[in-house]
């Protein structure tokens, strides 16, 4: 199955899982965030880059609140549409300071840019992941471009529902694998960069 067909199937599967938003979605998100918080990669990080969840994605809110409670710097992607790239900016609130853009994506209006080399952990969304650490994104390439930057040495951590873990994802040369994957059911470490366990 090619990526385009796989994306269509997974989007449909996610919509079935999260539409309408149910208690199960919140509970699965809470469990995934608890597992993320328990990892040494999260606990030892000073600067964490989270994604701002879309309705069909794992809700990162519990992990973001925990990071603030433990004095971590929370950054999120600021998407620069014209340049087709994103930069991490620090946020101190989930309530205001955002514009709502394509497909409901929240984009920070302001926020202090954080140098890439200061980011310790990047929590990454995806339509699907496999047990080799491969990720299937939406096809826009923002995260792959972001991971290309040589200044970024952060651990790459996928965060998803267990239903998004599939047998195999077709990969291209530019696709960057994860160092670990956290779902509501398990934590999987990959030996892709030596930054896993």
Round the average pLDDT of the chain to a whole number and report it.
Answer: 89
Q: Are 119 and 59 in contact (CB under 8 A)?
A: no
pLDDT level of residue 172 (50, 70, 90 thresholds):
confident
Residue spans of the domains in the chain: they are 3-189
DSSP characters for the chain?
--HHHHHHHHHHHHHHHHSS--HHHHHHHHHHHHHHHHSHHHHT-SEEEPP---TTSPP-HHHHHHHHHTTPEEEEEEEETTTTEEEEEE-S-SSSSEEE-GGG-EEESS-EE--GGG--EEEE--SEEETTS-EE--SS-HHHHHHH-TT--PEEEEE--GGGEES-----TT----SEEE-SS-EEE--SSS---
Mean pLDDT value of segment 34-42:
98
Fold of 3-189: Rossmann fold (3.40.50)
pLDDT at 196: 43
Closest C-alpha to 163, from 18, 33, 2, 8: 18
Model confidence over 173-194: pLDDT tens digits? 778 899 999 999 999 999 865 4
pLDDT higher for 163 or 122?
A: 122
Mean pLDDT value of segment 135-156:
90
For the chain, give the percent of residues with pLDDT over 90: 63
pLDDT at 139: 75
pTM for this predicted structure: 0.89
Q: Which of 12-16, 45-49, 116-120, 121-125 has the lowest mean pLDDT?
A: 12-16
């Amino acid at each position: 199955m090619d990526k385009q067909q796989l994306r269509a199937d997974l989007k449909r599967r996610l919509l079935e899982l999260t539409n309408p938003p149910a208690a199960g979605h919140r509970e699965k998100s809470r469990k995934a965030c608890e597992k993320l918080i328990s990892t040494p990669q999260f606990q030892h990080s000073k600067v964490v880059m989270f994604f701002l969840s879309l309705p069909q994605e794992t809700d990162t809110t519990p992990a973001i609140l925990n990071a603030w409670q433990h004095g971590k710097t929370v950054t999120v992607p600021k998407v620069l549409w014209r340049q087709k790239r994103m930069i991490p900016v620090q946020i101190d609130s989930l309530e205001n300071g955002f514009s709502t853009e394509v497909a409901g994506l929240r984009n920070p209006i302001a926020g202090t840019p954080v140098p890439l080399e200061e980011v310790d952990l990047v929590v990454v969304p995806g339509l699907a992941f496999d047990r080799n650490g491969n990720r299937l994104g939406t096809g826009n390439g923002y995260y792959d471009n972001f991971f290309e930057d040589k200044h970024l040495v952060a651990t790459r951590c996928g965060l998803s529902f267990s239903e998004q873990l599939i047998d195999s994802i077709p990969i291209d040369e530019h696709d960057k694998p994860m160092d670990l994957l956290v779902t509501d059911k398990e934590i999987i470490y990959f030996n892709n960069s030596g930054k896993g366990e």
